[in-house]
A and B are shown apart, each in its own frame.
Chain A
Amino acid sequence: MTDASNTATDTATDTATNAAADRKLKEAYFTASQGQLIWARFRKQKAAMVGAWVLIILILSGLFAPFLTPYDPTIAGRDKDYQNGAPEIPRFWDENGFSFRPFIYTTTRERSIATNFRWVSEIDRDARRYVVLFPQGDKYKLFGMSFETHLFGVDKGYIHLFGTDSTGKDIFSRTFHAINTSMAVGTIGVFISFVLALLIGGVSGYFGGWVDSILQMMTDTIRTVPAIPLFMALAAFIPDTWSAEERFFFISIILGFIGWPTLARRVRTHLLTERNQEYVLAAQLCGASPSHIIRKHLLPSFTSYIIVDLVISFPYMVLSETALSFIGLGLKDPVNSLGVMLQSVTSADVLLNYQWYFIPVIFFIVLVLAFVFVGDGLRDAADPYGDTKK
């Protein structure tokens, strides 16, 4: 029995009003839908709830990235006077006094005989640039409408919270757009592997027998092939003439093909045990077609497991995309993704001098961790025997 009914039995002995409330509680428990029960169990897990909040915030900030970030993440939004520039942290006060509006200093860069032909930047502490809210900036599209207003900016020049890369693109803007890209790649990839898994696992589990044996043999064979090297080989043959969007869809599809065997196996195992139940027999006797039985009777019996599996496989999609893009086989400029952003960081120059290139990594570790926490929490919550086991 769950906590809800246990506490209910304790209070039932008190007064009549309590008893009525208790009956209501019990009723609520026994009539609760699967979703409500899962939500009630999920809400009790602190780590998973924190993960869920972080996840929601990150997803929203990915969706609204064009508004939240001050500049266009592609070459169009670059600051050509501040390449490989260090992060500029807004401050409220310095030796020149206090200001209610946060400000940053002006940096001028010079390269001449005097500086030995190297770029030397000089910070002018007296030339303050103040942070402003809702400035007009680069044009962007959000939900089909065109906007120019961004959340923040500075009154003169550019502000780069996370610094800039070698072409002067704002790393802060790129990071948030990259979250969006990763989510999109992950969603398409998860969707494809989901459809494949349902199809193959469903057929194999429902029919059983020799169909199952053959499909299982194929699945097992595919599972022994190391997927990433194989798809690296395939990605290498993408013609250079492909546009960024075509590459994007191709990579998403590839990732979808990597992910399906595990889920297909779970679907199959579940169907194998479920298909001998009486309600399936009843449906068959009523003349329902196999696809109808699988879709309407069998799959709903474990939707929650499927959802959990999807959430858990999501971060792996994101990470695989990152890895592929990182080695230059996945996405390419002007699409922003973590992998694209990290492409140049192995050079000694970056490692020694421009460590702010690594700031986006933190966001991605947090994103993946949030997914892992939520996935774990959902798994525990979706398990109807989770409470009794403990």
Chain B
Amino acid sequence: MLPFLRFAGIRAALAILTLILVSFIVFSLMELVPGDCAERYLAFKNSQGSVITAADIDAERVRLGLNRPYMERWGSWIINAFQGEFGDSCIQRLNISQLLGQKFWLSLGICLASLLLAYMIAIPIGILAATSKNAYLNNSLRLVSYLGLALPNFLLALMIMLFSTVYFGDSLTGLFSKEMRDAPWSYEKVKDFLGHVWLPIFILGWSATAFAIQTVRALMSDEVGKLYVTAAAARGVTGRRLLLRYPARHALTPIINSLGFDLNRIFNELPVVALILTLTEAGSLLIEALARSNDQQLAGAIIFMLTASIVSLNFVTDLILAIVDPRIRRSILG
């Protein structure tokens, strides 16, 4: 037990180190963009009719602590960030955790659900594709995964919208129906939510599935030709039992390892898909924050949280691997 805890401790430290590095990159980039929070806020007030002078901007800078040295500000930002506290949004002047809150968790939930969906489809199909000798099946699977790569999620979303509008007269957008949007969570609202959420999950899962099928197939076809599989077959293990107990277990490790990067890829696609499907409750807040409002405080917080969820997923998969993969378990336990 102790070596395992030590292993977990080292991994956690590494994850935190990565996050600190990421926070430095994000923070620096947000500093590099022209204009700072004080200017932006006062420019906003200016547009509301009040007259702003340079002295006002300087006073605002002092009030926000923007006159402190760079490293000091980064230090306080990162310490607060680890406590889930990102300060106030530049323009809306609202606490960011309040602003993001539920929306962030909804987006993360949708992304994780599509990741799950992708592998639920990809693992059986990938194994089938790797082991089946049926050329017809293989070719059609190949075509599907090519399409998954060539038809990016947002084009797929557009196509689905086009067809559903033309044929059903409903564009299938949003996460809730109109009357449910502001209602408190209840059984009815959950039902309404599930009725809407399947589409974004499907669309986000689309190219993730194509990628996953390719990975699973490549890994499995590497493994099934190996001698230990032949040896097991010679001992009389056949069929599904043979596949699942021997090559599948080997192929599992790299798949679990790559989950973090799959989540990264889904995050990359989330904002655009969210915009098309007008998921105002979830992902398109990202776009609002990142694109429309020039709100660097909010943008930095969102990117930090996205990265943090990838890093934590990597941490969790490391621990899972240490538990399920006997090779890694042995190397930790010595």
Contacts and interface: CB of A to CB of B under 8 A. Distances in A.
Interface of A: 217-218, 220-230, 232-237, 239, 315, 319, 322-323, 326-329, 342, 345-346, 348, 351-352, 355, 358, 361, 364-365, 368-369, 372-373
A225 B171 contact: no
B303 interface: yes
A230 B26 contact: yes
Nearest to B20: A221
A241 B73 CA distance: 30
A236 B165 contact: no
Contacts of B146: 369, 372-373
Contacts of B25: 221-222, 225
Contacts of B152: 319, 322-323
B303 A365 contact: no
9 contacts: A225-B22, A230-B303, A235-B291, A237-B33, A323-B152, A327-B287, A348-B165, A358-B162, A368-B149
B268 A228 contact: yes
B150 A229 contact: no
Given A226-B268, A358-B159, A358-B162, 10 more contacts: A221-B18, A221-B21, A225-B307, A226-B303, A229-B267, A230-B26, A232-B290, A323-B152, A323-B154, A351-B162
A233 B268 contact: no
B171 A369 contact: no
Interface in B309-332: 310-311, 314
B116 to A, nearest CB: 19
A361 B294 CA distance: 30
Contact of A228 (B271, B300, B302): B271
B125 to A, nearest CB: 19
A326 B286 CA distance: 15
A369 B144 CA distance: 11
Given A323-B152, A327-B275, A346-B276, A228 B269 contact: yes
A351 B271 contact: no
A235 B294 CA distance: 10
Contacts of B21: 217-218, 221
Interface string B106-145: 0000000000000000000000000000000000000000
Nearest to B18: A221
A224 B287 contact: no
A328 B272 CA distance: 10
A372 B158 contact: no
B271 A327 contact: yes
Main secondary structure of the interface of B (DSSP, over half): helix
A227 B290 CA distance: 13
Contacts of B244: none
Interface of B: 18, 21-22, 25-26, 29-30, 33-35, 146-147, 149-152, 154-155, 158-159, 161-162, 165-166, 171, 260-261, 264, 267-272, 275-276, 286-287, 290-292, 294, 296, 299-300, 302-303, 306-307, 310-311, 314
A58 to B, nearest CB: 13
5 closest residue pairs by CB, A with B: A237-B33, A226-B267, A228-B268, A233-B299, A351-B165
B26 A225 contact: yes
Contact of A351 (B149, B150, B171): B171
B274 to A, nearest CB: 10
Contacts of B264: 223-224, 226
B165 A315 contact: no
Contacts of A369: 146-147, 150
A8 B98 CA distance: 75
B18 A220 contact: yes
Contact of A232 (B33, B165, B287): B287
Contact of A328 (B18, B147, B291, B302): B291
A345 B158 contact: yes
A372 B150 contact: yes
A364 B159 CA distance: 14
Contacts of B171: 348, 351
A128 to B, nearest CB: 31
Contacts of A322: 152
B155 to A, nearest CB: 6
Contacts of A229: 267-268, 270-271, 286, 290, 302-303, 306
A364 B154 CA distance: 13
